[in-house]
A and B are shown apart, each in its own frame.
Chain A
């Protein structure tokens, strides 16, 4: 089945210890997104890729970086996690299409990050 996969589902790290979250997709979508969602809050867009073009949100801290080595994979690197970075990290994909329905975002299951 075509899908968006995130690994790991749960990640525990120590304060300041770098961590990498991964996302892969079999939908062949050219747009990939990373969102941060804290408890009882809306998903907050960190950045997204149109193909290889990286688009960073203005308020995304420098502590967050991303890599997209190919169409299928995208990584979120947190260089020095702080306690405030504990959250659910959601990867989503979409097609860059003219029709609104074809530009729908599809989410992976998320990675819950705990910072000790």
Chain B
């Protein structure tokens, strides 16, 4: 089992819709969780982090964490074409190492 898994996509949503990105992790003792956005040929850009169970909102983005299910998600409301990118889930594990998932490619169709 891979340490951090994501649906590779591509995920296509129409402009204005909600995009839902999912991530699961294997280390139950993982401490904190990060979502990065990466445009083609660019470096990852932090969107938000979460470390407590529940929801965390920042503008159009909401991160959701369920440690019991070892699941973290990112919702993007009112999706825009500029949101088209690869979204990387990263997990800081119990042994203090950050592991990245393979990323989900999102395409927002105008």
Measured CA separation A115–B25 after assembly (Å): 34
B14-36: CB near A (< 8 Å → 1, else 0) gives 00000000000000000110101
Indicate which residue in A45, A88, A104 contacts B97 across the interface (CB closer than 8 Å).
A45
A110 touches B42 (CB 8 A): yes
- Residue with the highest number of chain A CB atoms closer than 10 Å, among B32, B90, B98: B98
B26-56: CB near A (< 8 Å → 1, else 0) gives 0000011010100001111110010100000
B42 touches A100 (CB 8 A): no
* Interface residue tally for chain B (C-beta within 8 Å): 22
A100 touches B51 (CB 8 A): yes
B88 touches A42 (CB 8 A): yes
* Interface residue tally for chain A (C-beta within 8 Å): 20
- Given A42-B102, A42-B103, A45-B97, A104:B34 Cβ within 8 A: yes
Indicate which residue in A41, A100, A108, A110 contacts B102 across the interface (CB closer than 8 Å).
A41
Interface of B toward A, CB cutoff 8 Å: 4, 31-32, 34, 36, 41-46, 49, 51, 88, 90, 92, 97-98, 100-103
